[in-house]
C-alpha cells in the first residue's frame, strides 16, 4: 500500500512533468506568430514596458534586471507588512508586526524560502497574505523559472539570454497562473476553503466559543506548492485540515510540490536541444529522490525511539503525524518538501526518527533532487561543472561542457557559488551553537537540540522554509541571521551561474569526437552522482554525525 | 632501402630510456631533498594554496607543542607526532616538485653540454679566419670540414655533408644536410662527418635556438598553464570549503561541551583538503615537459604540451610520415612510338635540375636502366630547378634541346603553352598510374610528351594501426601530399586516413587549418620548410623539425630534435597523459576523504558522545591513534604517488568513455577503498609502539 502511494505520487509527477515542460518551453519562448491571443497580450505588456521589457539582455543586464525587480518587490512587501493594520482586507483586525519579523518575512518570501517565524492566522491580514505573500509566491517562483531559461539559453551558446522582464511576465502569467488556477480548483473540490470572509465562530458541544480561522486558502496553497514556496496560510501549514483536508488533497499537493522542478529539467533539455543530457540529469535526480523516499519511509516504519522497548504499537512512527495521512505519507511529504526547496509540511519534522531527519537535512544540503523551481537545476549545473572539470581531465582533454571549454574563470565562479551553501549552514550553525542566540533557543539538549539549530540554517540557506520546530525562532538574532542568509543564498547562486553561462556562451564551441566526454551516457550520470556525493555531501558529514546520527546511536 | 623498422624504433627507444634518469636517482634525490627545505619559505609556498594551508597548520601545531612543553606534559607525544607528520606532509610535497624540477634541469643540462665551445673558420671575402665560436655573429659565414664541430646554428648555403647529430638527438645514424631545400638547417654542437659545407650563422652565441628553447623549458617551471591554474583554483575552493567544515567544528564542539584540541582540528583539516593532488600538481606539469623533452621534443611552453591533448585534427605530410621515406621512381610508361630507353634518358636529362629525392630517384632508376649509356650532366646546360610552385624541373641543353618533367598538370600547362595538346593516350597513362597509388611524372622533350615515369610509395609498417588508435581517441588524420587526387586517394585508402589534401601547395595547408579552426577544431601539424612556416604558426600545435629551416622553427611551438614526423602522435599522447594524471590524482585525493572521515570524526567526539564508537568501522585502537593513522596515510601517499605523477597514469588509446570508466574505477573507487586498508595498517603499526 505504501509503495503504491509513493509510486503514484512520483509516477504521476514524472508523467505530468513531460507535457508541463512542453508547455513551459512554449511559454518561455517568444510568440512564434505575429498574431493571436498570446501575441496581442504580450504586445500590451511590451507597450507598457517599452524597450526595457523587449530588448535582449546579456547575462549582466539580465541579472541586474533580476536584482532590481526583486529588490523592488522586497521593499513593496516590506511596506505592505509594515502597514497591514491600516490597509484594507483585514476583517480580523490584525495588528502591528515586530520589525525584525517584517524583515525576515519579506526576505523569506522574496527568496522563495517561506521560512515562517509567524503564525499566518494569528498575525497577518488577508491583504498581507494575498498582495504581499501570495504575490511574491508567484514572482519569486517566476524568477526561478526565468533564471533557468536564461541559463539554458546561455549554455546553448547565446550570449544574449533573453529579457528578464519578458521572462518574468511569461513565467508568471503563462506558466504559474494557469497551473495554480487548475490546482486551486482541484483543492477546492477536495474541500479546501476559498473565502475573503473573516474567521468563523462556532459553539462547541461543551458550550464554549471557538474561533475558526479561514480565508483565501485554496489559492494560497496551490501556488505555495507549485512554486516550491511552502509558506502556509496557517501556521500548521499543510498539516492543517483547511490546507490539506484529505488523503486525496495530500496526493495532489505532493504532485504539485515536485511537478515544476521535474519539468524544469525537461525544459532545460528542450531549450539547449540536448534531451538525452536532460534524461541523464533527470535520472540522477530521480534515483537520489527515490532512494531518499525509500529510506525515509523505511526509517519511519519503526516506532519512535521513546516507544522502542514498549509493547505498544506495530505501526510506524506516528508521533507528530496527521492520522488522516499516516507515517508513510508524512515521510514521503517530508522528503519531497526538502528535496525541492518547498518547505511546506504535513507532519512535525521534529518528531521524525533521527535518521529520517538526516534524510530531510540531506535534501536541503544537496538541494538538487529536483530542487527549487528553476534553481534546483541551476544548483545541479554547479555540481556538473565541477564533475566535468575533474573527470574531463581524466579523458585527457581540457574539460568541456556542452562543447565549451571550462577554464579558470568558470571554476572560480562555480567554487565560489558552491561555497555559499556550507558557509551559511556551517558558519551559521557554529555561531548560534556557540552563543546564547541559538543555544538558549533550543528545546532539547545534545544532538537533537543541535539538529534544531542545524535544520533552521539548512532550511534558510537552501531557501527551503520548512521548520524542524522545537526551536524558539521568532527572536531578533534568528530573524536577522536567517533573513540575510535567505537573501544571499537565493541570489548569489543565481547570479554566478548565469555569469558562468555567459562566459561559456562567449567561447567557440568544440566539435564532438570520440575523444570528448559525452554528457548523455550512464557513465556521465555516475560522474554527476559522484560529484554531488563527494563535493556536496562530504562537507556536511561531520554535522550529520553530531546531530541525527549521534541521536540515533544514543538510543 | 631495406632495414627493419621495428628494430630501428626499438633501438631509438632504448637510447632514450638510457638518457632518462631513473626515478629516484641518488644525486637528483639529494638535490631535491635540499630544495624541499628551501621551498618552505612562505612566499614560495603561497603559490600552492593547499600546501600553504598545510604549512600554516604545521606552524600552528608547532606553537601548540611549544606551549605544551612550557605548561604541562599531557598528550605531548601526540602533539609532537601530529607536528612531525604535518611537517613531513609539507616536505613530501616540496620534494615531489623539487624532484621533477631536478629531472627537468638534468635533461636540459645534458642538452646544454652539447653546446661545446669550438673554433670556427670564419670566411670573410673569401679569406678564412680562425675565431672562437662565441665570437660569431648573425649572418657571418663559416666553413666546416669533415671532423669539425659546427660552431653555432645556421643554414647550409653551399655543399652537402653528413652530420652526426647524436649529441642532440641521441641518434647515432648520421644525417645529410645540404644547401637548398628543406634540410639546410644545422645545429651548433653537432659534428660534420664527411665533406665540407659553408654555413650562414643564424644565431649569436648563447642565443642559438637550442639555448633559447632550453631557457624556455627551465623558465616554464614557474609558469602555470591554463588548466593547471583552473585546477589550482578548484583545489583552493575545496580547501576553503574544508576549512569551513573544520573551522565550524570547534564552536559546535563547545555546544556539546567538548574542547577540541587545535592539533586534532588541524589534523582533520589537512586530511580533508586535497593535499595529495596539491602536493603533486606541480610535479605532474613539470614531468609532462620532461616527458616531451625525453621524447626529444622541445616545447616552447608547458601550455603547448597541455594543448596537445586537445588536438582534434592531425595534418600529416604523406612523405616520411605515412609512407617510408620518399617516393621512388619505379617504372617507365612510354607513349606509343617512344622506346623505354628514350624515355629513361629524357627523364634523366629533365631531372638533373631537381634536387628533391624524387628527382634523384629518377636519375638513379635511369642509371640502373641505361647502365653506361646514361647521360652525364653537361656543363653549360641551363637548369630549370624544381620548385614547389612550378612543380616541374628541366634542362635546356646548349644544342637547343629542352627537357621537362613534372606533375601532369604542370607539364600540360607547359606544352599547351607551346600550342601542343594533351592526347587521350597520355591522359590514360597518367590516370592508370594514379589509380594504382603511383605518382605519374610526365616527361616531355620540347613540346613532345614521351611518356610517364611512375613514382611509388611504400607505406610505413604499422601506420594503419597507429591511425586506428588515433581514431579511437577521436582524432582525425589528414594526409597532405603534392600528389594528384587519384594518387592521393589511393594512398589515403591504403593508409586509412580520414581526409587528404591532394596537390597541396603551402597555401592549401594554411587554408585547411583555418577552415578546421573555424569549426572549432584544434589542429596539429609538423613541418620543416620555410613555406611551412605560416601553417606552423597558424596551427594550434606546430612541431618544427630540427633539421628544418630557421623560419619553420621560429613559427612552431615545439621543435622535434629527431626530425621524426611520427613524433606528433607521441606529443599528443604526452599531452593527454598529462591531463589524465591530473584528473586521476584529483579524483583519488577527494575519494580518500571518506575513509579519513570515518577515522577522525568518531575519534574527535568519542569522549563527549561515546556512542559514536559505532562509526569506528575500521576498529582503530584509540582516538589518538586513529587521527594519527589518517594523517600519516595522508602524508605517506604523497611520496608513494610520485612515480605516478612523474611517469603519468597508464595511457591507452581508447575512446573517452572507456578511459574515464577505467580511471574512475582505479582512482575513484580505488581512492575510496585504499585508505581504509592503509589507515588500518598504520593504526596496527602504531599500536605496536604502545605510545598512543
Q: Domain segments of chain A: what residues? A: 2-554
Q: Is the pLDDT of residue B160 over 80?
A: yes
- Contact assignment for B520 to A539 by CB distance below 8 Å: no
Rg (CA), chain B: 33
- The helix/strand count (H/E) of chain B reads as 25, 22
Question: Is residue B129 assigned to a domain?
Answer: no
For residues B626 and A323, what is the distance between their CA atoms, to the nearest angstrom? 47
For residue B580, give every residue at least 6 positions away whose Cβ sits within 8 Å of its Cβ, in sequence order, or none.
A393, A394, A395, A396, B648, B649, B651, B659, B663
Q: Which residues of A touch B659 (CB under 8 A)?
A: 394-396
Q: Which of B224, B233, B659 to mutate to test the interface with A (most CBs of A within 10 A)?
A: B233
Q: What is the residue-averaged pLDDT of chain A?
A: 91
Which secondary-structure segment (H or E) carries B143? strand B141-145
For residues B4 and A353, what is the distance between their CA atoms, to the nearest angstrom? 75
C-alpha cell at A289: 529522490
Active-site choice (B317, B457, B483, B683): B317
Q: Which residues of A touch B229 (CB under 8 A)?
A: 408
pLDDT value of residue B2: 37
With CA atoms as reference, report the closest residue to B388 among B317, B333, B338: B317
pLDDT in tens, A413-435: 999 999 999 999 999 999 999 99
pLDDT in tens, A144-174: 999 999 999 999 999 899 999 999 999 999 9
If asked whether residues B553 and B582 sit together in one domain, one would say no
Interface membership of B45 toward A (CB under 8 Å): no
B405 assigned binding-site residue: yes
pLDDT in tens, B44-94: 888 899 999 999 999 999 999 999 888 876 678 899 999 999 999 999 999
Looking at beta carbons, which pairs linking B170-179 to residues 24 or more positions away fall under 8 Å?
B170/B12, B170/B15, B170/B16, B170/B19, B170/B296, B171/B12, B171/B15, B171/B562, B172/B15, B175/B547, B175/B563, B177/B547, B178/B355
C-alpha cell at A449: 537540540
Which secondary-structure segment (H or E) carries B452? strand B448-456
pLDDT in tens, B549-598: 777 888 888 888 877 777 888 888 899 999 999 999 999 999 999 999 99
Interface membership of B241 toward A (CB under 8 Å): yes
C-alpha cell at A349: 519534522
Which secondary-structure segment (H or E) carries A19? helix A2-28
With CA atoms as reference, report the closest residue to A261 among A27, A6, A16: A16
C-alpha cell at B333: 610508361
Interface membership of B311 toward A (CB under 8 Å): no
C-alpha cell at B371: 647502365
Q: Which residues of A touch B311 (CB under 8 A)?
A: none
pLDDT value of residue B5: 44
Q: Which residues of B touch A539 (CB under 8 A)?
A: 241-242, 244-245
- Give me the residue label for grid cell 624532484: B99
Interface membership of B493 toward A (CB under 8 Å): no
- Contact assignment for B615 to A549 by CB distance below 8 Å: yes
Q: Which residues of B touch A511 (CB under 8 A)?
A: 312, 519-521
What is the total count of domains within chain B? 4
- The minimum CA-CA distance between B579 and chain A, rounded to whole Å, is 5
With CA atoms as reference, report the closest residue to B601 among A520, A553, A58: A553
If asked whether residues B588 and B664 sit together in one domain, one would say yes
- The minimum CA-CA distance between B513 and chain A, rounded to whole Å, is 15
Query: In this structure, what are the phi and psi dihedrals at residue A133, rounded to the nearest 5 degrees?
Result: -75, -45
Q: What is the residue-averaged pLDDT of chain B?
A: 84
Lowest mean pLDDT among A304-318, B52-66, B460-474, B664-678: A304-318
- Give me the residue label for grid cell 511596506: A79
Q: Which residues of A touch B474 (CB under 8 A)?
A: 513-516
Q: Round to the nearest angstrom and report the end-to-end CA distance of chain B.
A: 73
Q: Which of A382, A385, A397 to mutate to test the interface with B (most CBs of B within 10 A)?
A: A397
If asked whether residues B581 and B682 sit together in one domain, one would say yes
With CA atoms as reference, report the closest residue to A142 among A392, A490, A374: A374
Using CA atoms, how far residue B327 sits from A342, B320, B357, B405, B564, in Å, is 74, 9, 8, 15, 17
pLDDT value of residue B666: 94
Question: Is residue B3 assigned to a domain?
Answer: no
C-alpha cell at A394: 581524466
If asked whether residues B244 and B307 sit together in one domain, one would say no
Question: Is residue B1 assigned to a domain?
Answer: no
pLDDT value of residue B302: 79
- Give me the residue label for grid cell 538525452: A276
Q: Which residues of B touch A413 (CB under 8 A)?
A: none
Lowest mean pLDDT among A8-22, A524-538, B604-618: B604-618
- Mean pLDDT is highest, among A524-538, B50-64, B476-490, for B50-64
Question: Is residue B301 assigned to a domain?
Answer: yes
Half-sphere exposure of B566 (CA within 13 A, CB side): 17
Looking only at the bridges linking them, the beta strands covering B175-178 and B313-317 are unpaired
Sheet holding B160-164, edge to edge: B175-178, B160-164, B191-194
pLDDT value of residue B173: 67
C-alpha cell at A326: 499516516
Q: Round to the nearest angstrom and report the end-to-end CA distance of chain A.
A: 29
Contact B226, B285 (CB under 8 A): no
For residues A345 and B635, what is the distance between their CA atoms, to the nearest angstrom? 47
User: Given B414, B437, B458, which residue is the final one in a domain?
Assistant: B458
Q: How many CB pairs under 8 A join A and B?
A: 213
For residues A335 and A290, what is the distance between their CA atoms, to the nearest angstrom? 9
Interface membership of B667 toward A (CB under 8 Å): yes
* B145 beta partners: B196
pLDDT band at residue B117 using 50, 70 and 90 as cut-offs:
low
For residues A76 and A85, what is the distance between their CA atoms, to the nearest angstrom? 16
Query: In this structure, what are the phi and psi dihedrals at residue B5, rounded to the nearest 5 degrees?
Result: -60, -40
- Mean pLDDT is highest, among A348-357, A432-441, A483-492, B291-300, for A483-492
Contact B574, B262 (CB under 8 A): no
For residues A147 and A489, what is the distance between their CA atoms, to the nearest angstrom? 15
Could you say which DSSP state residue B208 is in?
Answer: S
Does residue B317 have an active-site annotation?
Answer: yes
pLDDT band at residue A110 using 50, 70 and 90 as cut-offs:
very high
- Contact assignment for B312 to A416 by CB distance below 8 Å: no
Q: Is the pLDDT of residue A507 over 70?
A: yes
High-pLDDT (> 90) share of chain B, %: 25
If asked whether residues B475 and B592 sit together in one domain, one would say no
ipTM: 0.92
Sheet holding B392-396, edge to edge: B328-334, B448-456, B439-445, B402-406, B392-396, B382-384
For residues A553 and B481, what is the distance between their CA atoms, to the nearest angstrom? 74
If asked whether residues B442 and B543 sit together in one domain, one would say no
- Contact assignment for A398 to B226 by CB distance below 8 Å: yes
- The minimum CA-CA distance between A419 and chain B, rounded to whole Å, is 6
pLDDT value of residue A289: 96
For residues B345 and B349, what is the distance between their CA atoms, to the nearest angstrom? 6
If asked whether residues B424 and B404 sit together in one domain, one would say yes
- Mean pLDDT is highest, among A200-214, B213-227, B473-487, for A200-214
If asked whether residues B551 and B605 sit together in one domain, one would say no
> Strands (DSSP E) along A125-261, which ranges?
200-203, 209-212
B390 assigned binding-site residue: yes
Chain A neighbours among B 512-541 (CB < 8 Å)?
A: 519-522
For residues B198 and B203, what is the distance between their CA atoms, to the nearest angstrom? 15
- The minimum CA-CA distance between A255 and chain B, rounded to whole Å, is 35
B40 assigned binding-site residue: no
Q: Is the pLDDT of residue A2 over 60?
A: yes
Question: Is residue B539 assigned to a domain?
Answer: yes
C-alpha cell at A247: 488523503
B387 assigned binding-site residue: yes
If asked whether residues B151 and B286 sit together in one domain, one would say no
Q: Is the pLDDT of residue A66 over 60?
A: yes
Compare A143 and B168 and report the one with higher pLDDT. A143
pLDDT band at residue B606 using 50, 70 and 90 as cut-offs:
confident
Domain enclosing residue B336, as ranges: 324-458
- Contact assignment for A418 to B237 by CB distance below 8 Å: yes
Q: Which residues of A touch B276 (CB under 8 A)?
A: none
pLDDT value of residue B218: 65
Could you say which DSSP state residue B449 is in?
Answer: E
CB-nearest partner of A408 from B229, B601, B651: B229
For residue A436, give every residue at least 6 positions away whose Cβ sits within 8 Å of its Cβ, in sequence order, or none.
none
If asked whether residues B273 and B303 sit together in one domain, one would say no
- Contact assignment for B586 to A549 by CB distance below 8 Å: no
Q: Which of A157, A393, A452 to mutate to test the interface with B (most CBs of B within 10 A)?
A: A393
Q: Is the pLDDT of residue A493 over 60?
A: yes
User: Given B458, B489, B520, which residue is the final one in a domain?
Assistant: B458
Contact B123, B61 (CB under 8 A): no
Using CA atoms, how far residue B493 sits from A513, B432, B459, in Å, is 21, 16, 11
Could you say which DSSP state residue A518 is in?
Answer: P
Interface membership of B313 toward A (CB under 8 Å): no
Question: Is residue B339 assigned to a domain?
Answer: yes
Q: Is the pLDDT of residue B17 over 70?
A: no
Using CA atoms, how far residue B472 sits from B233, B465, B466, in Å, is 32, 11, 10
Residues found in chain A: 555
- The minimum CA-CA distance between A427 and chain B, rounded to whole Å, is 6
If asked whether residues B197 and B312 sit together in one domain, one would say no
SS3 of B313, please?
strand
Rg (CA), chain A: 23
Contact B351, B359 (CB under 8 A): yes
With CA atoms as reference, report the closest residue to A390 among A274, A540, A524: A524
- Contact assignment for A545 to B602 by CB distance below 8 Å: yes
Could you say which DSSP state residue B459 is in?
Answer: B
Q: Where are the alpha helices (DSSP H) in B373-484?
A: 408-416, 424-435, 463-472
Q: Is the pLDDT of residue B116 over 60?
A: no
Query: In this structure, what are the phi and psi dihedrals at residue A92, rounded to the nearest 5 degrees?
Result: -100, 10
Question: Is residue B89 assigned to a domain?
Answer: yes
If asked whether residues B588 and B672 sit together in one domain, one would say yes
B388 assigned binding-site residue: yes
High-pLDDT (> 70) share of chain A, %: 99
Q: What is the mean pLDDT of residues B644-671?
A: 89
pLDDT in tens, B526-558: 877 777 788 888 999 998 887 777 778 888 888
Q: Where are the alpha helices (DSSP H) in B524-669?
A: 533-538, 550-555, 567-591, 593-605, 623-647, 656-663
Question: Is residue B468 assigned to a domain?
Answer: yes
- Give me the residue label for grid cell 607521441: B570
Q: What is the mean pLDDT of residues B186-200?
A: 83
B351 assigned binding-site residue: no
Q: Exposed, middle or buried, B102 (CB in 10 Å: 0-12/13-18/19+)? A: buried
Amino acid at each position: 500500500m505504501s509503495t503504491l502511494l509513493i509510486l503514484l505520487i512520483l509516477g504521476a509527477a514524472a508523467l505530468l512533468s513531460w507535457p508541463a515542460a512542453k508547455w513551459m518551453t512554449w511559454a518561455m519562448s517568444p510568440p512564434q506568430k505575429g498574431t493571436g491571443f498570446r501575441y496581442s497580450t504580450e504586445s500590451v505588456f511590451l507597450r507598457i514596458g517599452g524597450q526595457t521589457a523587449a530588448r535582449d539582455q546579456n547575462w549582466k543586464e539580465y541579472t541586474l534586471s533580476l536584482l532590481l525587480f526583486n529588490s523592488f518587490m522586497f521593499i513593496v512587501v516590506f511596506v505592505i507588512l509594515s502597514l497591514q493594520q491600516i490597509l484594507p482586507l483585514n476583517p480580523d483586525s490584525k495588528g502591528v508586526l515586530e520589525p525584525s519579523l517584517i524583515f525576515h518575512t519579506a526576505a523569506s518570501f522574496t527568496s522563495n524560502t517561506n521560512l515562517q517565524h509567524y503564525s499566518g492566522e494569528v498575525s497577518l491580514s488577508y491583504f498581507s497574505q494575498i498582495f504581499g505573500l501570495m504575490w511574491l509566491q508567484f514572482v519569486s517562483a517566476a524568477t526561478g523559472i526565468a533564471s533557468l531559461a536564461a541559463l539554458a539559453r546561455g549554455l546553448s551558446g547565446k550570449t544574449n539570454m533573453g529579457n528578464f522582464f519578458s521572462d518574468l511576465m511569461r513565467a508568471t502569467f503563462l506558466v504559474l497562473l494557469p497551473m495554480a488556477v487548475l490546482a486551486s480548483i482541484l483543492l477546492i473540490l477536495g474541500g479546501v476553503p476559498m473565502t475573503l470572509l473573516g474567521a468563523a465562530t462556532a459553539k462547541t458541544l461543551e458550550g464554549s466559543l471557538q474561533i475558526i480561522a479561514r480565508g483565501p486558502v485554496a489559492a494560497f496553497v496551490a501556488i505555495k506548492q507549485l512554486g516550491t514556496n511552502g509558506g502556509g496560510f496557517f501556521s500548521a501549514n499543510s498539516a492543517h485540515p483547511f490546507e490539506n483536508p484529505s488523503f486525496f488533497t495530500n496526493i495532489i499537493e505532493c504532485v504539485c510540490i515536485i511537478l515544476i522542478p521535474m519539468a524544469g529539467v525537461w525544459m532545460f533539455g528542450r531549450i539547449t536541444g540536448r534531451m538525452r543530457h536532460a534524461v541523464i540529469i533527470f535520472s540522477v535526480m530521480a534515483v537520489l529522490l527515490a532512494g531518499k523516499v525509500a529510506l525515509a519511509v523505511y526509517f519511519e516504519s519503526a516506532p519512535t525511539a521513546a516507544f522502542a522497548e514498549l509493547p505498544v504499537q506495530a505501526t510506524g512512527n506516528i508521533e507528530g503525524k496527521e492520522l488522516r495521512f499516516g507515517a508513510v505519507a508524512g515521510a514521503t511529504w517530508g522528503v519531497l518538501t526538502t528535496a525541492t526547496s518547498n518547505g511546506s509540511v504535513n507532519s512535525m519534522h521534529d518528531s521524525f526518527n533521527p535518521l529520517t531527519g538526516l534524510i530531510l537535512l540531506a535534501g536541503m544540503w544537496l538541494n538538487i533532487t529536483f530542487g527549487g523551481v528553476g534553481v534546483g537545476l541551476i544548483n545541479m549545473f554547479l555540481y556538473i561543472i565541477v564533475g566535468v572539470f575533474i573527470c574531463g581531465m581524466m579523458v585527457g582533454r581540457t574539460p568541456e561542457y556542452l562543447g565549451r571549454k571550462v577554464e579558470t574563470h568558470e571554476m572560480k565562479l562555480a567554487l565560489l557559488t558552491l561555497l555559499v551553501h556550507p558557509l551559511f549552514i556551517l558558519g551559521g550553525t557554529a555561531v548560534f551553537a556557540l552563543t546564547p542566540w541559538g543555544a538558549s533557543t533550543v528545546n532539547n539538549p545534545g544532538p537533537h537540540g543541535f539538529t534544531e539549530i542545524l535544520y533552521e540554517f539548512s532550511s534558510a540557506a537552501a531557501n527551503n522554509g520548512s521548520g524542524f520546530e522545537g526551536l524558539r525562532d521568532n527572536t531578533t538574532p534568528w530573524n536577522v541571521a536567517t533573513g540575510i542568509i535567505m537573501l544571499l543564498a537565493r541570489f548569489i547562486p543565481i547570479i554566478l551561474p548565469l555569469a558562468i553561462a555567459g562566459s561559456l556562451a562567449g567561447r567557440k564551441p568544440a566539435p564532438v569526437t570520440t575523444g570528448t566526454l559525452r554528457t548523455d551516457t550512464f557513465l556521465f550520470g555516475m560522474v554527476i552522482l559522484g560529484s554531488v556525493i563527494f563535493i556536496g555531501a562530504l562537507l556536511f558529514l561531520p554535522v550529520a554525525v553530531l546531530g541525527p546520527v549521534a541521536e540515533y546511536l544514543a538510543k | 632501402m631495406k632495414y627493419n623498422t621495428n628494430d630501428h624504433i626499438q633501438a631509438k627507444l632504448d637510447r632514450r630510456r638510457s638518457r632518462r634518469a631513473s626515478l629516484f636517482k641518488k644525486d637528483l634525490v639529494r638535490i631535491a631533498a635540499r630544495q624541499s627545505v628551501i621551498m618552505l619559505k612562505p612566499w614560495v609556498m603561497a603559490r600552492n594554496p593547499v600546501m600553504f594551508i598545510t604549512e600554516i597548520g604545521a606552524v600552528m601545531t608547532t606553537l601548540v607543542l611549544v606551549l605544551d612543553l612550557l605548561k604541562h606534559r599531557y598528550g605531548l607525544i601526540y602533539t609532537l607526532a601530529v607536528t612531525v607528520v604535518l611537517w613531513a606532509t609539507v616536505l613530501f610535497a616540496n620534494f615531489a616538485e623539487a624532484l621533477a624540477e631536478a629531472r627537468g634541469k638534468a635533461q636540459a643540462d645534458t642538452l646544454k653540454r652539447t653546446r661545446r665551445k669550438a673554433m670556427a673558420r670564419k670566411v670573410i671575402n673569401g679569406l678564412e679566419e680562425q675565431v672562437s665560436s662565441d665570437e660569431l655573429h648573425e649572418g657571418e659565414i663559416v666553413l666546416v670540414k669533415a671532423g669539425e664541430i659546427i660552431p653555432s646554428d645556421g643554414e647550409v648555403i653551399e655543399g652537402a655533408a653528413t652530420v652526426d647529430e647524436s649529441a642532440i638527438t641521441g641518434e647515432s645514424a648520421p644525417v645529410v644536410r645540404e644547401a637548398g631545400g628543406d634540410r639546410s638547417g644545422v645545429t651548433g654542437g653537432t659534428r660534420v662527418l664527411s665533406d665540407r659545407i659553408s654555413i650562414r650563422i643564424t644565431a649569436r652565441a648563447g642565443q642559438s635556438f637550442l639555448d633559447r628553447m632550453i631557457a624556455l623549458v627551465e623558465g616554464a617551471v614557474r609558469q602555470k598553464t591554463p588548466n593547471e591554474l583552473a585546477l589550482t583554483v578548484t583545489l583552493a575552493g575545496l580547501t576553503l570549503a574544508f576549512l569551513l567544515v573544520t573551522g565550524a567544528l570547534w564552536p559546535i564542539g563547545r555546544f556539546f561541551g567538548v574542547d577540541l584540541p587545535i592539533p586534532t582540528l588541524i589534523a582533520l583539516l589537512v586530511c580533508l583538503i586535497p593535499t595529495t593532488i596539491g602536493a603533486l600538481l606541480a610535479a605532474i606539469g613539470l614531468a609532462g615537459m620532461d616527458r616531451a623533452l625525453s621524447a626529444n621534443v622541445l616545447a616552447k611552453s608547458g601550455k603547448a604540451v597541455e594543448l596537445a591533448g586537445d588536438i582534434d585534427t592531425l595534418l600529416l605530410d604523406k612523405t616520411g610520415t605515412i609512407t617510408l621515406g620518399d617516393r621512388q621512381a619505379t617504372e617507365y610508361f612510354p607513349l606509343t612510338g617512344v622506346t623505354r630507353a628514350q624515355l629513361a634518358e629524357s627523364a634523366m636529362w629533365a631531372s638533373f635540375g631537381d634536387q628533391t629525392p624524387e628527382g634523384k630517384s629518377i636519375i638513379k632508376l635511369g642509371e640502373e636502366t641505361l647502365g653506361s649509356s646514361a647521360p652525364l650532366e653537361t656543363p653549360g646546360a641551363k637548369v630549370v630547378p624544381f620548385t614547389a610552385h612550378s612543380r616541374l624541373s628541366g634542362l635546356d641543353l646548349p644544342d637547343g634541346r629542352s627537357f621537362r618533367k613534372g606533375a601532369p598538370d604542370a607539364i600540360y600547362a607547359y606544352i599547351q603553352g607551346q600550342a601542343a595538346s594533351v592526347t587521350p593516350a597520355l591522359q590514360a597513362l597518367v590516370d592508370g598510374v594514379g589509380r594504382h597509388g603511383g605518382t605519374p611524372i610526365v616527361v616531355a622533350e620540347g613540346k613532345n610528351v614521351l611518356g610517364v615515369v611512375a613514382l611509388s610509395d611504400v607505406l610505413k609498417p604499422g601506420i594503419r594501426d597507429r591511425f586506428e588508435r588515433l581514431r579511437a581517441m577521436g582524432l582525425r588524420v589528414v594526409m597532405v601530399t603534392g600528389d594528384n587526387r587519384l594518387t592521393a586517394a589511393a594512398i589515403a585508402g591504403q593508409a586509412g586516413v580520414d581526409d587528404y589534401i591532394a596537390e597541396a601547395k603551402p597555401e592549401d595547408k594554411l587554408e585547411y587549418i583555418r577552415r578546421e579552426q573555424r569549426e572549432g577544431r584544434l589542429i596539429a601539424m609538423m613541418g620543416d620548410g620555410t613555406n611551412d612556416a605560416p601553417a606552423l604558426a597558424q596551427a594550434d600545435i606546430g612541431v618544427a623539425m630540427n633539421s628544418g629551416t630557421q623560419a619553420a622553427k621560429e613559427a612552431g611551438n615545439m621543435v622535434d630534435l629527431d626530425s621524426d614526423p611520427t613524433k606528433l602522435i607521441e606529443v599528443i599522447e604526452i599531452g593527454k597523459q598529462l591531463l589524465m594524471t591530473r584528473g586521476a590524482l584529483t579524483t583519488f585525493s577527494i575519494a580518500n576523504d571518506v575513509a579519513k572521515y570515518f577515522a577522525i570524526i568518531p575519534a574527535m567526539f568519542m569522549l563527549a558522545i561515546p556512542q559514536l564508537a559505532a562509526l569506528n568501522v575500521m576498529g582503530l585502537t584509540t582516538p589518538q591513534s586513529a587521527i594519527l593513522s589518517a594523517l600519516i596515510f595522508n602524508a605517506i601517499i604523497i611520496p608513494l604517488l610520485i612515480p605516478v605523477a612523474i611517469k603519468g597514469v597508464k595511457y591507452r588509446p581508447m575512446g573517452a568513455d572507456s578511459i574515464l570508466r577505467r580511471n574512475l574505477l582505479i582512482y575513484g573507487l580505488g581512492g575510496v577503498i585504499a585508505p581504509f586498508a592503509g589507515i588500518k595498517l598504520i593504526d596496527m603499526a602504531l599500536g605496536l609502539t604502545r605510545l598512543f
